[in-house]
A and B are shown apart, each in its own frame.
Chain A
Amino acid sequence: MKSRQLFGNLFSSPWIITFLLFWLFPLVYSLYLGFTDYRLMHGEYAWVGFDNFIRLLSDTSFLMALKNTFIFVLGTIPATTVIALVLALLIEKNFPGRTIFRSGYFIPSITAMVVIALVFTNLYSRGGYIHLLAGILGLDPPENGFLLSSKTALLAVMAMDVWMSVGYYMLLFLAGLKAIPRELYEAAEVAGAGFWRRLSSITLPLLKPVALFIIVINTIKSFQVFVEIFVMTRGRYGSSTAVYFVYDTGLTRFEFGYASAAAYILFVVIAIFSIAQFVMFRRRRLG
């Protein structure tokens, strides 16, 4: 029918335009730019083949940024996932005051990252509460605060990130827990299974799909860590990350070609990780 075709396309047009102009074209365009030496808005540029990629692989500031990104991803995701799961298990059952705890744990994750990062800049700095507390505990914090030391800057940002996002993933785990049929627990209880047995034989196996979903979306998000680095350290004290490198190279030094190549390397890394996670997920489901 003609009208179906007409209205289908007409009503889809906002997406069609957005997709083509702001997603598909940029995706192709930045791949192309990655093979050019385009810098500065009105400069001339030429095709340089794989030069940018070769240069990146020996660029120490890019390699450090990439290494930090891996440290960030591999450090925060296990911590976030485990803490979120524990929180979800702690407040799973209904009890007086449950909503208060759930909301309180969740609030940091809907607050603007910029605001959280600013508050933690205060807490981490010399004389700030976390700095004071670390001193009292005898942890020997860096004299000028956690963010002005190359030993602790990245770690401090990572710790804040875990703190901020556990509430969000806790909610996802709670939704997963809710979907587990009650009868399973009842049957297990009748059979005399204790708390740990029920946890390991029912809860954890049935939460696997949710856990994998959480890990996949958190991986894609964490590989792109940027805002907290921008606000808290500006990439100094050995805390630069891949997206910060892309921003800094592309939009403060206007090396569009070089920055696009760096963005594509990260893009491929994320794609490999995501695909690997999906494959692992498939295999576990079949096996």
Chain B
Amino acid sequence: MKPIKYIILSAILVVMVFPLFWMFRVSLLPADLSLTVANLISSSVTLTAYRDLIGSGGMMRFFINSAVVGIAVTAGNILFCFMVGYALSRYRFIGRKFWFYSVIFVLMIPAHIIIIPLYLIIFRLGLYDTYWALILPFLVNPIGIFLVRQYIDTLPTSMEEAARIDGAGEFRILFRIIMPLCKPALAVLAIQVFLTNWNSFLFPLILTSSENVRTLPVALALLQGHQAIDWPHLMAGSAAAVIPVLVVFLFFQRHIVAGITAGAVKQ
């Protein structure tokens, strides 16, 4: 490695991580509405903004909403993508081809097309502005199904056949034999779903209206809409949205990369 390359790479690194560093820096400033962007550059460090997050009327509520929705959606996807992926891989049933093509079809559809109708459907089902609105439509996703199906395709069928001869039922085979074998694929799936859901904005924005179910990204975006921006509080709330992602990234970097690159190289 030539030193010049290190210098170039490091300069790029600074550009890439500075905004997040700046977010943390601003979040540690004294919360004061008179702060303008110009005088944010000060030396004091305080945890006031974070303390206010946890206090009453703070953003804790939105954090909890995001967590509830994120965990429910992730759990649903682990179970349902697995079931569907297994069915599409192993059972030769009528309609199998059709449902598989429907997965590919939805993979390619731009989601903006369902904004209006999904809003109307959720409204008519009486689910508008509830947790269910943010969970039900997202309990199973085409990428997840695709990932699981591909993975199960590579597994030998001998264990299932042996179990079937021993008289094991289909549920037992599904959950006791195949599911443990799919752990690596399901881990990739779970992390991908959680991150996507935790960061998601558009559907939580259009499917809820009250603070009771509002998720953290939506709350942050709507706070910014006010005239005078309270940067330390806003950045502390942003940090609360980023920290779980950074923790997941720290521990599961390999899974994240695997999830992203799984689809690409096969094309």
Contact = CB atoms under 8 A, between A and B. Distances in A.
Contact of A263 (B12, B115, B265): B115
Contacts of A274: 108
A209 B57 CA distance: 51
Nearest to A178: B265
Interface stretch (B47-55, B98-106, B180-188): B98-106
Interface stretch (A52-60, A190-198, A227-235): A227-235
Contacts of A263: 112-113, 115-116
A108 B106 contact: no
Contacts, number: 259
B86 A11 contact: yes
Contacts of A123: 19, 22
Contacts of A18: 137, 139-140
Given A107-B20, A175-B264, A251-B119, A15 B84 contact: yes
Name B's interface SS: helix
Interface in B102-140: 102-103, 106, 108-121, 123, 137, 139-140
Contacts of A224: 110-112
Contact of B267 (A118, A213, A256): A213
A127 B229 CA distance: 14
Dominant SS among interface residues on chain A: helix
Given A172-B261, A247-B206, A4 B112 contact: no
Contact of B238 (A26, A118, A179): A118
B265 A179 contact: yes
B115 A113 contact: no
Given A115-B217, A122-B37, A22 B260 contact: no
Nearest to A167: B16
Interface in B1-46: 1, 5-6, 8-9, 12-13, 15-20, 22-23, 26, 36-40
A43 interface: no
A82 interface: no
A114 to B, nearest CB: 4
B115 A250 contact: yes
Given A112-B245, A115-B238, A115-B241, A19 B109 contact: no
A8 to B, nearest CB: 3
A199 interface: no
Contacts of B220: 114-115, 118
Contacts of B226: none
B242 A115 contact: yes
Contact of A121 (B206, B224, B241): B224
A227 B224 CA distance: 13
Given A107-B17, A231-B221, 6 more contacts: A115-B23, A122-B37, A127-B36, A129-B22, A227-B201, A266-B113
